[in-house]
Amino acid sequence: MMGQLPGGQQRLFYSFNLEDHVPAHHLLRSIDQCLDLRDLRAYLADFYSPIGRPSIYPELMVRMLVVGYCYGIRSERRLCEEVHLNLAYRWFCRLGLEDEVPNHSTFSKNRHGRFRDSDLFRWLFNEVLRRCMAAGLVKGAGFAVDASIIKADASRQRGVAGDEVDWRDPALSSRAVREYLEALDEEALAETLPKKISLTDPLSRWTAAPGGPAYFAYSTNYLIDTEHGVIMDGQAAASRATAHGIGAPAASRNPRINPQTWARKLSETPEGNLKWIAATSTPGTSDRPAGCR
């Protein structure tokens, strides 16, 4: 006998538990076991007013951003829609079925406001790294340094020659342009203007990829502990052909970093790392720290 749809969507009361509807092997369950945000509230306390209407809980926004990074949801508007619809996302974000998802504009205001002012994402990165160290996943002896080119979200058609841009034009008064102008200093103004500047994202760099068309891009530089592949530090900058010195800053921030082995691409010259290795060399090793090879 052919069955029928139950037709119970208009039921007034439900016996429902989100915990029962998220599979045990779900990715977000694994992440939730390692994500510790207990100190987040105390860290951001100075960036919130002690009076006024209660804000969106910062842990909720951080958890939603983690969902977006894990599942490639780049649009904040779409992220809010997905969290609203997906039971696993709601469970991970500590939202019940009737809890309201924050408006997408909340993310933009916080990312360009208190999250940036507090350097929140660097703090989160360091907290994760601290837990990796506590778990014995970081040996602190062998490291690899590499740079990757990340294509900017900027059209090639919106690029103009560096000496043709009139930054006083009101049509260019976007947030990206304002941040670009604020980042310039007298020394930067004295340098040679770039060949091409993006009016959409002026901080990106016009990059010519081997065997392909040029485009606007950024460079991400990573310092990786080779024992378990844990990223120890990361830097994002305008695209360059070589990896910049990232090992020295990371080592100065963490005394547990004691490099004995460095790995890098032969085509790259991490000048900052080489200078640091030479500066920290011990007697008898003129060009590297003791044991470093």
Domain match, 103 and 178 both = no
Q: For residue 88, count CB atoms less than 10 angstroms from its CB and return exposed for 0-12, middle for 13-18, buried for 19 or more.
A: middle
Domain match, 145 and 113 both = no
Report the alpha-carbon distance of residue 109 to residue 216 in Å, rounded. Answer: 26
Q: What single letter denotes the amino acid at residue 140? A: G
Judge whether 29 lies within some domain.
yes
pLDDT tier at 84, thresholds 50, 70, 90: very high
Judge whether 250 lies within some domain.
no
- Over its C-alpha atoms, the chain yields an Rg (Å, rounded) of 24
The whole-number pLDDT of residue 275 equals: 57
Domain match, 45 and 152 both = no
The whole-number pLDDT of residue 30 equals: 93
Judge whether 34 lies within some domain.
yes
Q: Is the pLDDT of residue 188 over 50?
A: yes
- Whole-prediction pTM value? 0.71
**Contact yes or no for 188/227 (Cβ under 8 A):** no
Domain match, 95 and 209 both = no
pLDDT tier at 201, thresholds 50, 70, 90: confident
Q: What single letter denotes the amino acid at residue 156? A: R
Report the alpha-carbon distance of residue 145 to residue 143 in Å, rounded. Answer: 7
Residues linked to residue 233 through DSSP beta bridges, in sequence order? 223
Domain match, 112 and 218 both = no
> What is the domain range of residue 237?
139-243+257-267
Report the alpha-carbon distance of residue 89 to residue 83 in Å, rounded. Answer: 5
The whole-number pLDDT of residue 171 equals: 54
Report the alpha-carbon distance of residue 177 to residue 148 in Å, rounded. Answer: 24
Residue 198: C-alpha distances to residues 35, 132, 149, 260 (Å): 37, 39, 17, 41
Count how many domains the chain has. Answer: 2
The whole-number pLDDT of residue 254 equals: 57
Residues 22-54 pLDDT 10s: 999 999 999 998 888 989 999 999 999 888 888
Question: Which among 86, 118, 150 is the end of a domain?
Answer: 118
Report the alpha-carbon distance of residue 50 to residue 184 in Å, rounded. Answer: 35
The whole-number pLDDT of residue 145 equals: 80
Judge whether 272 lies within some domain.
no
Of the ranges 111-115, 117-121, 135-139, 251-255, the best mean pLDDT one: 117-121
Lowest mean pLDDT among 10-14, 118-122, 134-138, 223-227: 10-14
